[in-house]
Chains A and B, each alone.
Chain A
Amino acid sequence: MDFEPTDDQTLLRNSVQRLLSREYGFQRRQELLAQSFGHSAQVWQQLAGQGVLGAGLPEEHGGFGGPVESMIVMEEMGRSLVLEPFLSTVVTCGGLIGELGSPQQRAEWLPRIVAGECRWALAHHEPGARYNLDYVKTTARRQASGYVLNGVKTVIQDGAVADRVIVSAQDDTSPGLSLFVLDCSAPGLHWSRYRTQDGRNAADLRFENLTVGAEGLLGAPGTGLASIELAVDCSIAALCAEAVGVMEAANAATLEHLKTRRQFGQPIGRFQVLQHRMADMFVMATQARSMSFLATGQCRESVRTERRRALSAAKAFIGKASRFVGQQAVQLHGGMGMTAELPISHYFKRLTLINATWGDIDHHVGAVGKLMLAG
């Protein structure tokens, strides 16, 4: 084991940090928040210009590195609360295309992702599924040339700004999930686009008797569930890294507040009750980083049960840590923690929503427990 970044990894972190501190300060982010869906074509192009959108994607299509590089990018995005659809586009969908795509599909889509020419989202969740990845009612009926799709997908993250979407459906001919790539602007797709609580975006999607050509099929028919599960685990690892970035930023802001805010004639950080709270926040964030490392190290582990145990453990722990750090950061800021004008409430909101994405604390604790039964 070696927790020291390589020179290249340090360079990557520094270059993302430089870009974001220059282009993505809190005031700039406040302006972007005021626009629709938070996404900025300019920022997206700048990320592409620095090669960031290739993190973790195959080198032959312009990408570089692997899960560690994704982790580094996500930590920095978390620290700056970046609203861009990096996770959906590069990690979740880029990962699925890399794993399942035909040579033509990979060559067509991956370089365009790296170049910042398109944004992707995964349309998997349906009403009634909660966090169960196995619950899909959308159907794909095979016909002479292609498929007919029927169904509803909800809370598609980054769905409001996506150009393309990967849809999962029950295949009537090859039992199991099949995955399809759809152009978001194609006729027959009924979109409902909205903001999310943290200033990002999501969408619901409904389609009736939508015809899809065979070329839209991603991977072998009926085998999509295992790939979705893997893509979600990689996304969980990335979310864990993002949460670590947010928590460290929240802790830094809170520490600064404790040192500068004066009451009763002294900095409030002199009070032991607040010192111990801050120490506990530090303890949580320290371990959250450890669990992010675990998630990153195991998200492509070939033994499924080991991968699942590690990723659920990491997500559960980071959910707990995020909740504690987020709530206490607001508490220690007092009234200032409640305003939208300081970063602290924005950290809190993002941490809260990360917990609700791809499985919350109870879901993942339960998953670790069930794996225990399997031995």
Chain B
Amino acid sequence: MNLEFSAQEQRFRAEVREFLKRNLPAPLSAKVLGLKRLTREDLIGWQRILHSVGWSGPSWPKEFGGTGWTAIEQHIFDEECSIAGAPPIISFGVRMVAPVIMAFGNRAQQDYFLPRILSGEHWWCQGYSEPGSGSDLASLTTRAERRGDVYLVNGQKTWNTLGHFADWIFCLVRTDGAAKPQSGISFLLIDMKSPGITVRPIPLLDGGHEINDIWFDNVSVPVTQLIGEENKGWTYAKYLLTHERVNIAQVGQSRRELNRLKQLAATTADGARRLIDDVRFRDRLAAVEIDLMALELTVLRVLSAEGRRRDPGPESSVLKIRGSEIQQALAELCMEAIGPYALPWIPEALEAGWQGQPEGADLWGALTGRYFNQRKTTIFSGSNEIQRNIIAHRILEL
């Protein structure tokens, strides 16, 4: 057992910091740290910068063009990037569909798609949820019917994140209506430029455009874009979901928000004393910091076990539950920290380059919006109630 970061891991951290100092554009980190809305170009631009040094696949093995980093190194990389204000890696490609293509795709699919994910040429999005299939995902009804060399896809996907930026979508579709729900599902890769696809934004409570409804109307998809075997898609989907959950702990992002919260608490005052000198508030802040330390160590444990076993197990549900709860707690405290400045709603203030002159506070509206927005974290990617079911059934065998 070595319960501290090794010398090599500390050197790696220093290397990542040095890289960020030299390569993370200041206007970009200012947008991230200032909670401005990020454009497609912001996110793709960062992916290209990482690609230029061979770091755009931090979780990938070397054989597919990734970094080959250990799980601990990946964690250090994520954490340093987040704290420095780098945009998030576009996870739908790099972290979600890519592991599925690596594990279950054929050689041609790997050769075509993986390099384009790394370079940022292809932006991926996810087609899982449907209006009638949320937590009960296996009840999905979007159909794919085989017609010679193509599938004809019909149906509706919803809660699709950033599909309006996407070049490709990976979809769960029903290929056998007679089988048990889980047994009739296939995993299809679909070009977003295909005729018959309609994308419509779903307005969110914070005023942002993040998610969409997507309709498929007789969309023709070559059978070469089927992953693995027909009707085995549920297996691949579950594989993807556990990979998604490791990342979903979002320790780096929460560290960044904790730094923000400390900064806010040290600079906000009520005329007599700073917020951080109010023991009631400070102890709540300390309690979240403690929770985050516990989460981080747990992430490191799960990751290093994963390093030996390869696949993240159901323990990743623990990370999803705690990661999301901590994200929400931080968003809530940040909003509370600004007191009455939680009220103003000035959407322009969320755009980079806004020239308004706020009286008395920065981050107008952004923190309240973030609080509203972060309520999603305990709902998406398998709600926390579903995660508790997974723990109860798969770990505790209840």
Contact = CB atoms under 8 A, between A and B. Distances in A.
Contacts of B318: 282-283, 286-287
Contacts of A4: 1, 304, 308
A255 B289 contact: no
A275 B1 contact: no
Interface string A51-91: 00000000000000000100000000000000000000000
Contacts of B286: 316, 365-366, 368-369, 372
B293 A291 contact: yes
B325 to A, nearest CB: 10
Contacts of A255: 396, 398
Interface stretch (B16-24, B171-179, B236-244, B276-284): B276-284
Contacts of A372: 262, 276, 282, 285-286, 289
A283 B396 CA distance: 11
Contacts of B9: 1
B298 A280 contact: no
A365 B282 CA distance: 9
Given A3-B304, A287-B294, A293 B3 contact: yes
B294 A317 contact: yes
Looking at chain A's contact residues, is the secondary structure mostly helix, strand, loop, or mixed? Answer: helix
B391 interface: yes
A272 B135 CA distance: 15
A242 B155 CA distance: 55
Of A259, A279, A280, A366, which is in contact with the most chain B CB atoms at under 10 Å from its CB? A279
Given A2-B1, A279-B388, A291 B297 contact: yes
B6 interface: yes
B119 to A, nearest CB: 32
Contacts of A144: none
Contacts of B72: 1
B305 to A, nearest CB: 8
A5 B262 contact: no
Interface string B267-311: 000000000110100110111011101110110110011001000
A284 to B, nearest CB: 9
A148 interface: no
Contacts, number: 132
B282 A369 contact: yes
A372 B396 CA distance: 38
Contacts of B5: 1
Contact of B283 (A6, A297, A366): A366
Contacts of A274: 398
A275 B321 contact: no
Contact of B294 (A9, A259, A291, A296): A291
Given A6-B1, A286-B298, A365-B283, A259 B289 contact: no
A276 interface: yes
Contacts of A278: 392, 396, 398
Contacts of B6: 1-2
Contacts of A373: 276-277, 282
A167 interface: no
Interface string B86-110: 0000000000000000000000000
A5 B1 contact: yes
B290 A316 contact: yes
Contact of B2 (A1, A279, A290, A317): A1
A258 interface: yes
A68 B1 CA distance: 8
A283 B391 contact: yes
A317 B290 contact: yes
A275 B395 CA distance: 11
A165 B282 CA distance: 38
Given A282-B391, A366-B279, A3 B301 contact: yes
Contacts of A316: 286-287, 290
Interface in A267-318: 269-270, 272, 274-276, 278-280, 282-283, 286-291, 293-294, 296-298, 310, 313, 316-317
Contacts of B4: 1, 297-298
Contacts of B122: none
B217 interface: no
B317 to A, nearest CB: 8
Contacts of B295: 287
Contacts of B282: 369, 372-373
B385 interface: yes
B25 to A, nearest CB: 29
Contacts of B322: 283, 287
25 contacts: A1-B4, A1-B5, A1-B300, A3-B300, A3-B301, A255-B396, A274-B398, A275-B392, A275-B396, A282-B391, A282-B395, A283-B322, A286-B315, A289-B301, A291-B297, A316-B286, A316-B290, A317-B291, A317-B293, A317-B294, A365-B286, A368-B286, A369-B279, A372-B289, A373-B277
Given A276-B388, A298-B3, A317-B291, 15 more contacts: A1-B5, A1-B9, A2-B304, A3-B305, A9-B1, A275-B396, A276-B389, A278-B392, A283-B318, A287-B298, A290-B297, A293-B3, A366-B279, A369-B283, A372-B285
